[in-house]
């Protein structure tokens, strides 16, 4: 543990801006949701009627979770904000821990630090301490924000601690996955897979009203603290205990492996390289194919889950204008089943943006590990190298969205007797999300070319897009602010009129940003940072 405090100061110095942005976005989202719900549903009768509608709608519960007390503003705030806030906090912790542990080993900086008076566990301990402090600050600020709006202090504290404990748990998950593999990108992928699995378990359990599934998910634990609805303080102990177990396991694994290596040995490649590795695009495909297949499989599973719920959503929506208005806030104007399907595809578009950003930032990983220098020393141009990875990001996003849309349509069609047509229709509708996904990827490319030390801002931007899209209407944000998200310019599909103009504009913005990033990269030095 020697040197832990010095590494904590270093991590705070490096991430002071990024952490501030994450914390601000999360806290403002919760505070704004509480304020908006108080204005939209000032009367108890309105709130109770909304709660009855939510309770009878499995599709809506799959997205946002159950409501435990619809009579109070606090209860509806917990229903609306817990899932998205917990997911964002978990994402912040996953990226933070991997950045300061496995990424440091992969780049070689951890070995340099190890040559000084730094203990074996100092790197992981410092990252966990920074994450713990950030989560605690998020919890306290959420508590203060909700209590400051007149909500019960006990419920506000329970809400804040539920989010903080979820963050601590997923920080421990990332600490564990960082021990398993020697690459930061793979460690991030494993941790994100755990977050995705937790979301699917919670969504499936809440939609089907199978408590065992919901209790199997840490995201379900955050909801079942029951903030503002008869708080269950003992549930917080589940996250704390699980986090301690995972951290202890991560520390035990760290003692049993070499610095820079992972517990899982790397798979040996063939003795002779295949011919396609002779091109930049072939190398990019080899580097991205594992992650691409995993993302596509995850989208197919998520699509199947939500596709099975689409028909029930349509049946409940008929003659229920209140619920139609709620889904309009989540996914845009529309009606019946298509509104729900458009909401699901919109969420998939945001998640696909995460794949695209991660794929583009593989360029920085290759540069930091000094592998890019070896590749570019051969007959490979900088433009060809960057465009190959950019092509995998843009094309890969199309593949995973197709897989997700096809799975949604197939699952929905099997229930309605139109499996083939629905699968094709929803696969095509998923492609409407592509231009916005490409803008997110292009922004990451621009940051890599111009400000390689600040590429983490690409993740902050994507988080901002998600908050503007999912909570913009609820928070009653002005249209000019919501329009900062490229996803706000997409037409609704299915169920709406799809025109080419906004899609072409977004594609033009993506080309301009990506082109500027590629051109700037050609003119700067390889820094390894």
Long-range contacts at 334-337 (CB < 8 A, ≥ 24 apart): 334/492, 334/495, 334/496, 335/495, 336/495, 337/310, 337/311, 337/313, 337/412
The per-residue pLDDT for 329 is 54
Triad 232, 193, 444: Cα angle to 5° = 110
Instruction: Please report which residue ranges of 56-148 form alpha helices under DSSP H.
Output: 58-64, 73-100, 102-107, 109-114, 122-148
| Rounded distance between C-alpha atoms, residue 43 and residue 20, angstroms | 36
Determine the longest span between alpha carbons in the chain, in angstroms.
Answer: 72
Rg (CA), the chain: 23
| Rounded distance between C-alpha atoms, residue 509 and residue 513, angstroms | 6
| 318 burial level (CB within 10 Å; 0-12, 13-18, 19+) | exposed
Give the number of other Cβ atoms within 10 Å of residue 159's Cβ.
Answer: 31
Phi-psi region of 119 (alpha: psi -120 to 50; beta: other; left: phi over 0): beta
User: Could you tell me which residues come within 8 angstroms of residue 522 by beta carbon, excluding any fewer than 6 positions away?
Assistant: 382, 383
User: Is the model's pTM score more than 0.75?
Assistant: yes
320, two tokens:
């229920």
Instruction: Round to the nearest angstrom and report the end-to-end CA distance of the chain.
Output: 26
Residue 280, phi then psi, degrees to nearest 5: -60, -40
| Rounded distance between C-alpha atoms, residue 263 and residue 275, angstroms | 31
Structural contact between residues 191 and 102, judged by C-beta atoms closer than 8 angstroms: no
| Rounded distance between C-alpha atoms, residue 128 and residue 97, angstroms | 7
pLDDT along the chain (529 residues), means of 10: 83 87 88 83 81 72 83 88 90 91 82 74 89 94 92 93 95 93 85 89 84 90 91 92 94 85 77 81 90 90 82 55 54 58 88 92 85 85 92 94 92 83 90 94 93 86 82 71 88 84 93 93 74
User: Could you tell me which residues come within 8 angstroms of residue 28 by beta carbon, excluding any fewer than 6 positions away?
Assistant: none
């Amino acid at each position: 543990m020697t040197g832990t405090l010095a590494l904590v100061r270093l991590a705070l110095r490096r991430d002071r801006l990024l952490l501030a942005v994450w914390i601000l976005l999360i806290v403002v989202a919760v505070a704004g949701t509480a304020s908006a719900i108080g204005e939209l549903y000032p009367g108890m009768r309105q709130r109770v009627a909304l709660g009855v509608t939510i309770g009878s709608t499995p599709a809506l519960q799959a997205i946002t979770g159950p409501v435990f007390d619809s009579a109070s503003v606090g209860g509806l705030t917990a229903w609306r904000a817990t899932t998205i806030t917990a997911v964002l906090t978990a994402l912040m912790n996953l990226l933070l821990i991997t950045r300061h542990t496995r990424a440091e080993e992969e780049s070689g900086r951890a070995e340099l630090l190890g040559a000084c008076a730094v203990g074996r566990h100092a790197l992981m301990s410092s990252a966990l301490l920074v994450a713990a402090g950030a989560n605690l600050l998020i919890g306290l600020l959420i508590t203060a924000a909700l209590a400051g709006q007149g909500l019960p202090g006990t419920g506000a504290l329970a809400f804040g601690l539920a989010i903080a404990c979820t963050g601590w748990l997923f920080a421990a998950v990332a600490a564990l996955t960082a021990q398993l593999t020697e690459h930061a990108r793979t460690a991030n992928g494993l941790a994100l897979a755990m977050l995705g699995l937790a979301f699917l378990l919670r969504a499936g359990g809440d939609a089907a009203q199978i408590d065992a599934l919901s209790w199997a998910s840490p995201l379900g634990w955050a909801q079942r603290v029951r903030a503002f609805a008869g708080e269950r303080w003992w549930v917080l102990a589940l996250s704390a205990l699980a986090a301690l177990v995972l951290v202890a396991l991560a520390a035990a694994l760290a003692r049993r492996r070499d610095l820079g290596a992972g517990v899982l040995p790397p798979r040996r490649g063939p003795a002779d390289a295949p011919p396609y590795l002779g091109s930049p695009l072939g190398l990019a495909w080899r580097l991205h194919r594992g992650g691409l297949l995993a993302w596509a499989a995850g989208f197919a599973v998520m699509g199947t889950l939500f596709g099975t719920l689409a028909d029930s959503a349509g049946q409940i929506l008929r003659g229920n204008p209140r619920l139609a208005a709620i889904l309009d806030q989540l996914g845009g104007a529309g009606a019946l089943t298509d509104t729900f399907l458009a909401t699901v595809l919109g969420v998939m578009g945001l998640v696909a943006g995460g794949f695209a950003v991660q794929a583009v930032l593989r360029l920085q990983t290759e540069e930091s590990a000094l592998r890019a220098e070896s590749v570019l020393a051969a007959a490979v141009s900088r433009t060809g190298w960057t465009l190959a990875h950019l092509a995998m990001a843009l094309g890969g996003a199309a593949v995973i969205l197709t897989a997700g849309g096809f799975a949604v349509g197939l699952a929905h069609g099997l229930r309605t007797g139109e499996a083939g047509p629905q699968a094709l229709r929803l696969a095509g509708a998923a492609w409407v999300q592509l231009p916005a996904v490409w803008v997110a990827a292009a922004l990451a490319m621009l940051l890599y070319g111009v400000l390689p030390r600040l590429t983490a801002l690409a993740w902050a931007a994507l988080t901002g897009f998600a908050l503007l899209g999912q909570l913009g209407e609820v928070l009653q944000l002005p249209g000019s602010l919501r329009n900062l998200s490229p996803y706000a310019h997409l037409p609704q599909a299915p169920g709406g009129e799809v025109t080419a103009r906004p899609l072409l504009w977004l594609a033009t913005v993506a080309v301009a940003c990506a082109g500027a990033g590629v051109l700037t990269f050609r003119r700067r030095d390889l820094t390894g940072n």
